[in-house]
């Protein structure tokens, strides 16, 4: 998660992201202790807007190149939020659109590691998380959408996304259910 969305000064700050920070921290500790690979997706854009395509028009509010708290390359807004950032063995994948699978090496990394299941955590539930989760499912990964580790702008968006995902794309569960499942598998 990057400052633009999770830091209180971020240009697209989601207040509900506060609730998920401790949950994700716990999950990360668990994953590191069990050697479950952790991927961070990192979205940036160029200040000359060359790589933003139609989104400069669709979402002008995040495309002001002078805004240090948006997610332009090299700005404070683009940095990972301090309390949750990659540990030594975690993998960072750069992306430039909502989906972490579109135009990235994420699928290759997962295949090379022999992984067939992914769990989604982050912000925003209804935008990047959902788009990444859908794309994972279409590529035949089993996708677990973690209800208490994803945050949205509103309660309604959160629920609509989780309900829809659970019906059509994969499985919604909370992080406790995931860690219990992983422990059971050992």
Q: Give CA–CA dist 129/137, Å, rounded.
A: 12
Strands 91-95 and 117-123: unpaired
- Give the helix/strand (H/E) hosting 145: strand 142-151
Q: Which of residues 101-130 bind a copy of itself (CB under 8 A)?
A: 102-105, 107-109, 111-113, 126-127
By the rule CB under 8 A, 164 interacts with a copy of itself: yes
User: Which stretches does DSSP call E strand in the chain?
Assistant: 39-43, 91-95, 117-123, 142-151, 171-173
Strands 142-151 and 117-123: parallel
By the rule CB under 8 A, 87 interacts with a copy of itself: no
Exactly one of 18, 19, 51, 64 binds a copy of itself (CB under 8 A); that residue is: 51
Exactly one of 97, 173, 174, 179 binds a copy of itself (CB under 8 A); that residue is: 97
Exactly one of 168, 184, 185, 186 binds a copy of itself (CB under 8 A); that residue is: 168
Q: Give CA–CA dist 116/40, Å, rounded.
A: 17
By the rule CB under 8 A, 60 interacts with a copy of itself: no
Are residues 72 and 49 in contact, defined by beta-carbon separation less than 8 angstroms?
A: no
Exactly one of 142, 180, 181, 183 binds a copy of itself (CB under 8 A); that residue is: 142
Exactly one of 9, 29, 34, 59 binds a copy of itself (CB under 8 A); that residue is: 59
Identify the three-state secondary structure at position 26: helix
By the rule CB under 8 A, 80 interacts with a copy of itself: no
Are residues 172 and 145 in contact, defined by beta-carbon separation less than 8 angstroms?
A: yes
Q: Which residues bind a copy of itself (CB under 8 A)?
A: 46, 48, 50-55, 57-59, 89, 91, 94, 96-99, 102-105, 107-109, 111-113, 126-127, 131, 134-135, 137-142, 156-157, 160-161, 164, 168-171
């Amino acid at each position: 998660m990057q400052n633009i969305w999770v830091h209180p000064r971020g240009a697209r700050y989601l207040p509900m992201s506060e609730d998920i920070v401790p949950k994700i921290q716990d999950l990360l500790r668990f994953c590191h202790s069990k050697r479950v690979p952790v991927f961070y997706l990192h979205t940036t854009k160029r200040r000359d807007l060359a790589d933003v395509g139609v989104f400069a028009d669709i979402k002008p509010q995040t495309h002001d190149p002078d805004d240090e708290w948006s997610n332009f390359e090299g700005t404070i807004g683009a940095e990972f939020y301090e309390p949750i950032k990659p540990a030594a063995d975690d993998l960072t994948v750069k992306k430039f659109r909502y989906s972490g699978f579109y135009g990235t090496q994420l699928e290759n990394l997962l295949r090379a590691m022999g992984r067939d299941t992914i769990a989604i955590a982050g912000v925003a539930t209804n935008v990047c998380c959902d788009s990444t989760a859908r794309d994972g499912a279409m590529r035949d990964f089993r996708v677990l959408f973690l209800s208490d580790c994803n945050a949205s702008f509103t309660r309604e968006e959160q629920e609509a996304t989780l309900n829809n995902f659970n019906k059509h794309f994969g499985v919604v569960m909370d992080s406790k259910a995931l860690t219990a499942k992983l422990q059971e598998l050992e």
